[in-house]
Amino acid sequence: MLGLNKKDMSLLLIVGALALLAPFILNPFPADSAMAQFNAGYPDLMQRFVIFGIFAIGFNILFGLTGYLSFGHAAFLGVGSYSAVWMFKLLSMNVVPAILLSVIVAGLFSLVIGFVSLRRSGIYFSILTLAFAQMSFNLAYSVLTPITNGETGLQLTLNDPRVLGVSQTADGSIPVTNLFGMEMRSTFEMDLGPWLFQFNTGYYLCAILMLLSFYLSVRIFRSPFGMMLRAVKSNQHRMNYTGLNTRPYTLAAFVISGMYAGLAGGLLASMDPLAGAERMQWTASGEVVLMTILGGAGTLLGPILGAGFIKYFENIFSKINDSVLHGWFGFMPDGLEDFIVTIVHPFVGKGWHLTLGLMFMAVVIFLPGGLIEGGQRIGKLFSRKSKKSDGGDAEHHPKQTPHVAE
């Protein structure tokens, strides 16, 4: 079905179910409870889950299949954002043209950078991509200020010469992004007792595009093209010795990966029409590397899990301050409460990077295959226990054969 085998189709259905039911899954605690701090089912965060999932899926096509580690993918994310905002300013507030332009421009930009960077491999390739990304950041931050608006960032104004649409609404405000009339910020709220669930138009657009991106990545992984990329990762020199030119394959993977990043950048701008140079910094490129490795490089589901994991920490753990901690441990004696808060304080709030760093170290050391490997180990552990229990029952209750009279 859809060109997928039974296992891949099941995986696609699982991802689809998780994406569509995310407002329920990410809000497990009542809105007025102390544990509501850990709910993540609000539109802005859910959008970031799927958008950065797309970013990581695309990066995994390059790094997971070919082994080429790029430290410059944030450049394509930023280019996609700038392209989308310019489309909003000049043409229409409809997100479709903006998303298409962001993918096309990011693809062309990645073609140029990939053509140069792929002349080298290994650490030299990584340094080249990092250099191009930093050049792009500095150009956007200062040199190309008329196009990017420098450190302030490119954003919509009331004087935009929009061809298909008005520059300002009847009440004098800036129009909002939409999908053929459906506003991206439109949200339907459902109250079920103490639970509050939010269904956002922008989130479901991003979720559908993530599912399409995931489906395309599965097809690439299972195609002869994907097998060729795996061969490049296994031993590129041996392939070159046979007379096979691998550069077109690696360049194609680089461009596809860059287009994924451009799509993610376009979606970021579609949800919030603002593009800044900070999206092109090396830290943003390092973030997608962490997402892919943490989830499981070279796996289908790993990048999505890694993206969700990091964005959850960034948005949830970073909000836990001392007042929240005192609320949690208020039942303790004053001295013990202050001591516990002092111990926990460096790992939450502004120190959430420390917790993430420690968890990343633990994953790299004990689970080189990322969270996917951890899930596989747990699954094998339970399967072994079930087999042992079945074997034990068979020993204690041997099969009896009916007695036949001689």
Nearest to 201 by CA among 219, 216, 179, 220: 179
List pLDDT tens digits, range 296-342. 988 999 999 999 989 988 888 888 888 888 888 888 888 888 889 88
- Alpha-carbon distances of 351 from 282, 322, 345, 346, 354, rounded to whole Å: 20, 12, 8, 5, 6
The overall pTM is greater than 0.85: yes
pLDDT cut 70: percent of the chain above it: 96
CA distance linking residue 37 with residue 180, whole number of Å: 35
CA distance linking residue 402 with residue 174, whole number of Å: 84
> Could you tell me the pLDDT band of residue 223, with boundaries at 50, 70 and 90?
very high
> Could you tell me the pLDDT band of residue 151, with boundaries at 50, 70 and 90?
confident
pLDDT at 405: 40
Rounded to 5 degrees, what angle do the CA atoms 174, 175, 180 make?
A: 170
Nearest to 351 by CA among 329, 309, 322, 326: 322
pLDDT at 341: 87
- Alpha-carbon distances of 338 from 37, 318, 320, rounded to whole Å: 21, 20, 15
List pLDDT tens digits, range 197-222. 999 999 999 999 999 999 999 999 99
Least confident segment among 79-83, 96-100, 137-141, 371-375: 371-375
pLDDT cut 90: percent of the chain above it: 47
Nearest to 137 by CA among 274, 266, 280: 280
User: Which pair of tokens denotes residue 236?
Assistant: 């590129």
What is the length of the chain? 406
The gap between the terminal CA atoms of the chain, to the nearest Å, is 57
List pLDDT tens digits, range 233-253. 988 888 888 888 889 999 999
